[in-house]
Structures are given as structure tokens and as C-alpha cells.
Amino acid sequence: MVMVPNSKEQVEAWVKICTHDAKFAWTGGDHFTSDDKFNSAEMRIKKAQISKQKEEEKTRLERKMRKEEALKVLEIGEPTASLIRPECNILLWWLEVPNTMNGKAAEKRKRLEEVL
């Protein structure tokens, strides 16, 4: 595989190489002191940070959506005793109560009153 030194392709190839034998074969036995090797180490760290940030963003957006749905239910202004099952599901989902989809409406209202 012929590549231009310090190119993006070369650095990405270094990121994928993870064993000593593969690195030895890639360099032909040379030392790992070029910028490509250091850049590949940084790229691996940056990719991990980016994936973590994407997961956090996904969680934030999901929580925002949950809050908007719950606020719609709360704007109705009904007491918890008169809420129907889907409304209880939305509020329990927003409050991050586990197993919100299981159970009857009466059980959900009871869980909701315990949390609130």
C-alpha cells in the first residue's frame, strides 16, 4: 500500500492497526517516531471523544423531547387520579421511572403519586 506521508489515509490506517506485529509489518521494522504515528494516537482519542459527545447530545435531545411531552400533559391541569394510561406513561417516562410501560392505569397513577 503506497501512501503519501502525513496524509489522512496514512493516519487513519495507523488508527486501525492495533497489534505490535501489524505495526512492525507496516513500518518494515522502523521505529514509531513519525508524525503519522503520533497523529494516529490523537485521532483515536478524538474519535472516542466525538462518539461520547454524540451520545450525550442524543441523550439531551431525548430528555428535551420527554420534557416537552410531559409539559403538554401537565398543561391540561388534571389531577393524577384522572389521568389516563398514556398520559401516565409520558409523565413516568419524563421522570425516568423504570418499567413505565408495564402495568395498568391504576398502578401507573400510584407510581406517579409516589414520585410526585
pTM across the whole model: 0.57
Instruction: Pick the closest to residue 66 from 58, 77, 78 (CA basis).
Output: 58
The residue with cell 505490535 is 20
Instruction: Pick the closest to residue 23 from 34, 32, 11, 10 (CA basis).
Output: 32
- For residue 84, the model assigns a pLDDT of 85
Q: Which residue has the higher pLDDT, 27 or 81?
A: 81
- 53-76 as b/e: b if 16+ CB within 10 A: eeeeeeeeeeeeebeebbeebeee
- Give 52-80 pLDDT, tens digit per residue: 999 999 999 999 999 999 999 889 888 87
Segments making up each domain of the chain, as ranges? 1-60
Distance from chain centroid for Cα 14: 26
21-25, 37-41, 64-68, 84-88: range with highest mean pLDDT: 64-68
Q: Alpha-carbon distance 22 to 67, whole Å?
A: 49
